[in-house]
Each structure stands twice: as C-alpha cells, then as structure tokens.
Structure 1
C-alpha cells in the first residue's frame, strides 16, 4: 500500500501527488497563508485518496501527543491511507526528540503522511528545528509579505474573488503592512458590499501624521509609515524629518520639566510648542534621549551604506520604543 506526497516549486506553486510517504512542516508568522496552504494540501489528499484516507488531527497545546505512537502503529481494516495533522508541536514546547522518534517510524511506512503546522517560532523554539529537519520531507516558511510581493498577493486574492480594486484601494490595503487576515476581511467586505473601509481613510496622509504617532504608538506609526512609503514618499526625507522632530520634542520636554520658557534662539514656532507639549507629556526625557541615540547610530549606518532609512526607522520603532520609562 502507498501514501501520497505533495511536491511544490514555491509558495504559490501547484502540487503534484506521488505515491511515497511524507512528513511536511509549515510554519511562519503569516498564519493566513500557511493555514490556507495546509487546507489545500489536506483537500488534495482527500480528493485523491477518497474513502481510502483516514485522517487524524491533534493540537499540541491541548492534546496528549503520546497518542501519536498509537496512531502511527495502529492498522485500519477500512483505510489504506493515513493522514495526521499536528498543530503547534514546536511552539507548545513539546519533547521534540520524542516527536522525531515517532516521526522516524513514518519513514518506514508506505501508508502514512504527517503534516506539521506552527505559527511564528521564537528564537528558542527555532533551535529545535534541527530535530524536525532531520526527518521532514519538506519544510516551508511563510514570512510576512512586504512591498511589491504584498501588492502582488493582494491583486491575486482580489482576482480570485472577482473583486476589481482601484489604485487607491490597493494602496490602502497594502498599508496594513502584511496583516493579511485584515486584508482578507476587507476583500470579503468588498465582495459582499462592493464597498471597503477605504472611504473613511480617503484623506491624504502626510509626513506630519507620522510625526504625531511615531514616538507614542508603534501600531499606528507602522501603519502610517507603510502607507507613506507605498505612496512614494522619500525614505530619506522621512528619516530626516523624524530626526529633527525628535530634537524638537526633546527640547520642549527639557524646558517644560524645568518650568522655563523655550529660548527664542531655539527657533521653535509657538504653534509647534503648543502641539508638541501635549505629545511629550507621555514621554520621559530619558526615553527621548535614548531615541536620539538610536537615530544617531542609525544615521551613521545609513551614511556608510550599512542600512536604508526605511530599515533603520523600523528598527528604531521596535527597539527604541520597546521600553517606556
């Protein structure tokens, strides 16, 4: 008796089925696409095997994986093909050596396929990948889509749903920065109603919107940043503006804490002082100083060619805003 193996050329490629065993591992932060691929593989196996397929599904976060040994060894009188789907085996912190030992039995079987699915793996968990790599037939990672790859995926998904996107709608959807679950929800909304939430977002974003959010809201800042980049805003100009804006915030905070007026030599317009004063209330002087250090270090990397401004800004956004004093 034989089982089937699904082979692929790339993430978007078509699968063909051959009569050999398989252990397949899907993982990565883009859980929408990895789950879609998982369901596609299961669907192909069901279609090919028909009534000869016996399927088992386990979640390592709630199920006892010791039952795997029995599933691998049990023989069915009614089914010649066996498909075992296991979710969260690595992220749940299970004994990977035990799993590797059980899965090694699959290599000796001609009627069994194991599909492993996991979301984003942290650094500690990734160290355990070596156990899976030794016995897996195929490993596929689904990374967060960015830039043109993301826009191309949106076009494909819209085409699959027979949804026609305007340029502004495509730009708006791409501004979610790889949150494909949210993008998919908006595409479904367009399919059902013919309208997206983009209408509420129609007012043009400017670099000043980013200045309002960059130092206080990581989520809003990342959303605005991607929209500005995708709309063609110069990344060098964005970096320069934010660096100057940070110096202004630091100056206003410095004099505010000392209850002293800002000297005219600083050349900061009263309107800017009034608006920024509200912003710096939630920011400590220590944190602003640390952010200035981050900008200085990244500016050096940019000037010597070790980084691009957009990459530096993302690092500052996540590292510089990691702690709040």
Structure 2
C-alpha cells in the first residue's frame, strides 16, 4: 500500500470532498490526522470514525481556521497537508467575515503551521473552478478553459461573487506564501462536485442536484454545470501528493453539461422521478458555450468517472439517506 508508514493531515475533514479523501487515504494505508471544528459534534466525526482503518490509523483534532497556531498539533510529523477546509456559501450577509477571512486567513494559518514541520514534503490545496473562470473577454463560443485561466478579483467583487472571490484570494495567498517560504504547493480546482455522500449533512452541490431533480429549480441562472465526481476529486488530491512531478494547479471537471442534459439522464435512469415532458423528447441539447481541459489532470493519472455513473450514484446516495423519495 502506497501510504504505509506515512502520516498526512486533512483539514476540514468532515466536508464532502474531505470525507472521501480521508476514506481513500485510509484505504491506501496512510495514517491520517483529520481536523474538525468540533470534536463534540457527532455529525462531524461519526462517519469518519466508522471508516475502514479509522480505529488503527485515524486521529481527530479540533482546529479553528481563524485561530493562528490552531493546526500546529494536527500537522506535526506529517509528510503532506491536504487543506480542504473553507466555507462554501453562495449567499452571505457579511462576505468578509463569513467567506473571505476564513478562506484567506484560514489558508495562511494552515500554511504557517505547515511551515514549522521539517518532515513536510508538500501541501495540496483544495481550490475551485471558482478561482479559474471569472474573467472578462471570454473568447469565441466553444473555447477551452484550462489551468492558465485565473479569476479576476475585481470582477468577482463587481458581480458580488463572494465565494469565487474567497477561493481566488485564498489560492493566490497560498501560492505567494509557498513561494516566499520555499515549500511545495499543488492546487486542485474542482467544478460542481457530485457523487455519493459519506457525511450525514447535505452539502451545497448535492443539495443543488437534489433541488434540480425535485423541483427543476435552477441552481445556476445559465443552467451550466461543470460536473466532476467527488471520488475523482479526492483521488486527484492523493495523486497530487504521490506524484513528485505534480505542480501548479489542476482543473477537475469531467464534463460541462446543461441542466437539461442532467435531467435527461435522470429521466432515463429513473423514469418515475421526473415529471416533465420536455425531458422526454430526443432532441439534441443546445451545445455548451465552453469546455474545461482534462489534459493536465489526466497526466496525474486521474480517470474521470462518466457523468451517468456519478448522477446515478448521487441519486442512490440521496435515496439511501432518505433525502429523495421515489
């Protein structure tokens, strides 16, 4: 097993991507230090403690993003820190306090703790496509987005895309800190993450898919989803540590689809679930305006899960947790 004898840290371990990351790290033989906001909240801890290998190789630590030094004990002795912890909120009253400070200061606090650890080989940061795609002057219809794209903070602010701003500023701060302090940082930039849920609470993207299926309510006004499977995202984080050649950032989007295409797949798999004639016609869906390059992620060894599989596994998982009824 690749991870045998290696100690790694996962911040924000109770989250959607992070829970899968902890699971896959344990499956590979790693010893995992996992941070959560509260050790007293079973919703943050029980599903992690129930994972295979958790009893032998998982330790939970309480840590707070905005408290400097909070991550010192969790990262001590680790060869890699996977920093996934960051608030995911699309509507906020106070963007600075609710999103930007925890994302930026939190990232710097984790990196400051990491910088004290001589055994540390690399930090893998969970960024987002939100830090890639908000920029003016998009080229012609059919363009391909890739890792050379960076969101423009002033445009994020102008459009009040506070989550996008928080992820853009956090990634930027992390890259600068790593450069100034001479350590290795790799960023993973996932799109709209779907797939089975390990944690007991509903995360934002799973809720978005559920809303789309249940009420046909658009999560995005343009109806465009940059879909990626949560298992692929977690695997990409591990490969970004294990592959010494890994560098810079990696866009993680399996396929860009319109909501109509998602609903057609759901209707095909679960004919009783979708009550709308427009999903049943065989007409071609209007092409998406752009795609996201998978080339760099594939050099890591990522094999993208087909969207039909991810959508089916999402629905089955929501059903299993009694969040969707047929």
TM-score by length of 2: 0.32
Q: Larger % of strand: which?
A: 2
Structure number with greater CO (CA < 8 Å, separation at least 6) is 2
Pair member with larger Rg: 1
Q: Larger % of helix: which?
A: 1
TM-score by length of 1: 0.32
